Amino acid sequence: MPRSYLTVGPDWIDGNDHMNACYYLLAVKNAALEAHDLWDYGVAFRERTGESNFVLESHIRHFRELKLGTRLLVTTRVADLDDKRLHLAFEIHDADRDFLAAIAEFVTIHVRMAPPSAKPMPDDLRARLAAVKAVHDGIPLPPQAGGCHALNIHRRPARQ
């Protein structure tokens, strides 16, 4: 499972003396970009194909606060996919004290960039992501996952 490390910096701290909620999204965005590059679905893919993905839905559940200087570990997994959509689940951990601080989930849709329009993923990309999902299926999701309501993509067909 892709792993990204970051450190909570001073700009990330709010008036409550902990990591501001918006920076959880930044941490997840950085992890997502790294994972997309690893899966050949990042910048090189977009430049080569003129295709990418857009976020349809996101959800974050916060469990414990994170403080200045905390070293974060963000793991990224493919939780589900269909011909157009990808469900990513991220776990944000305190890397040194070994606790789960938050879970974030995204549902994205595959698009042609110009003009932006949803379309099925190319077969080779879908096969790569399905292979990643098969590996990730062997690692249980935390019971707190499942916050996005549009995530039942294996039960609800994508619109054509």
Model confidence over 121-154: pLDDT tens digits?
A: 999 999 999 999 999 999 888 878 776 655 554 4
Q: Is 7 exposed, middle or buried (0-12, 13-18, 19+ CB in 10 A)?
A: exposed
Would you tell me which CATH number, out of the four given (3.40.50.2000, 3.40.50.410, 3.10.129.10, 3.40.50.300), belongs to the domain 3-136? 3.10.129.10
Q: What's the DSSP call for residue 12?
A: G
Q: Report pLDDT digits (tens) over 73-98.
A: 999 999 999 999 999 999 999 999 99
For the chain, give the percent of residues with pLDDT over 70: 91
Count the Cβ atoms, other than its own, within 10 Å of residue 139.
9
pTM: 0.88
Residue whose C-alpha is closest to residue 60's, from 100, 106, 15: 106
